[in-house]
Structure 1
């Protein structure tokens, strides 16, 4: 007789990092999700120059719920949002986590705050799936060196993408995203009713300070 698979919802502690102070003076909140094998504490450092220049900006970097050693059984540690194993349950878990985090954050800022959501690499699919099941829509969605998940239900995807400003960002020497991949991604989003802006920069699979400053300026 084969083993029976069951699921048991449990409470666990999630970790996130923050730059800036949430207050009545906050005009912009960025929620930024890291890529596979990264940690939020290091990922958020790329945004420090934005909050240093703009005290009305707050950046929140949640961390994936699963951590692992990047090589062997010691040394550097990274986090992931999900794997293919029990993927639907992992997606449900991080969607619930990000919804709870966003609700907590937005309760401390004015109701008209401008919310930007950025997903880098694996984080791009993560934020897309999350926003498809969130009670709010951001002012701007940035998918950086990652893709909108092609397996998302078309009706859900269309509802999310209608009238949502989207920017696709990728380095011209990205090891994982080729120009043809970026073009396909743009076409896919257009077929779903979106008209994404595409920004390319000289670089590899990484964030870029100048582009981040450009994107931050769009919120003013």
Structure 2
């Protein structure tokens, strides 16, 4: 008979910038499948370098593995289909603890942006539905909002929320048509949703990140 026990473990995250009473903008950025936070966070380094009041927080999925065979490069995952519900809750707990520690060091009116990339989009959706705070801006990049989230929880999170969906026109995992369909679905929950595209594949795009960083609610 399968049983479970809750244990304490060490989670890892990357931080760019210094948290203080002068912090005005915090970005929580969640990587995709098979990535590590140390590499993913580099895409956002220019934001912190350009503005000392901006801090980037990049949590890393709790499950790490070799990307090929029994050695070499390592990647991380937020969850798989095996023991899925417990993995989801473990990550929600991790992200809630991290956010509480980060935001406690910031002014109450700090502008929070949450970005999920690829597999990280579902992760941030599930997390924010149980979070103690509500971001000013949610960005779903090259991935989808979790379809298994209860409609009441989705509506509570999304109603009136500034939400941007981003997709590369040559993305090999999600089409612009699928992104457009999701755009329309999320509008039904009351989100202030927009869909942005760029000429690229399943990847981040600096020019669009610069544009999104300029958004203020």
- So what's the TM-score if we normalise by structure 2? 0.98
Structure 1 runs (4+) deviating above 4 angstroms are none
Q: In structure 2, what is the Cα distance between the partners aligned to 1:24 and 1:66?
A: 33
Residue from 14, 17, 22 that aligns with 2:19: 22
SS in 1 for 2:157: helix
Q: 2:108 aligns with which of 92, 111, 115?
A: 111
In the alignment, structure 2 segments of 5+ residues that lack a partner are: none
Instruction: Pick one of 155, 175, 195 that aligns with 2:192.
Output: 195
Aligned to 2:99, which of 94, 97, 102? 102
Aligned length: 217
- 1:84 aligns with 81
TM-score, structure 1 as length reference: 0.97
Q: Alpha-carbon deviation of 1:195?
A: 3.3
> Cα distance, 1:27 vs. partner?
0.3
State whether residues 31 and 116 of structure 2, in contact with CA within 8 Å, keep that contact through their aligned partners in structure 1.
Answer: yes
Say if 2:180 and 2:195, in contact at 8 Å, map to a contact too.
no
1:42 aligns with 2:39: yes
Deviations 1:8-59 (A, max 9, x none): 0000000000001101111000000000000000000000111111111000
1:151 to 142, 148, 153: 148
- Measure, in 2, the Cα distance between the counterparts of 1:188 and 1:78: 32
Gaps of 5+ in 1: none
The Cα RMSD (Å) is: 0.9
Q: CA deviation at 1:138?
A: 0.4
Distance in 1, Cα, partners of 2:154 & 2:215:
24
Q: CA deviation at 1:108?
A: 0.7
Q: CA deviation at 1:110?
A: 0.6
1:121 to 118, 121, 126: 118
Summarize the alignment of residues 50-61 of structure 1 with structure 2, pairs less than 5 Å apart.
Answer: 50-61=47-58
Partner Cα distance (1:86, 1:19) in 2? 33
User: What's the secondary structure of 1:70's corresponding residue?
Assistant: strand
Cα distance in 2 for partners of 1:137, 1:107 equals: 14
CA drift of 1:194 comes to 1.8
Instruction: Give distance in 2, aligned partners of 1:7 and 1:210.
Output: 45
Q: What is the rounded CA distance, in whole Å, between the counterparts of 1:59 and 1:127 in structure 2?
A: 15
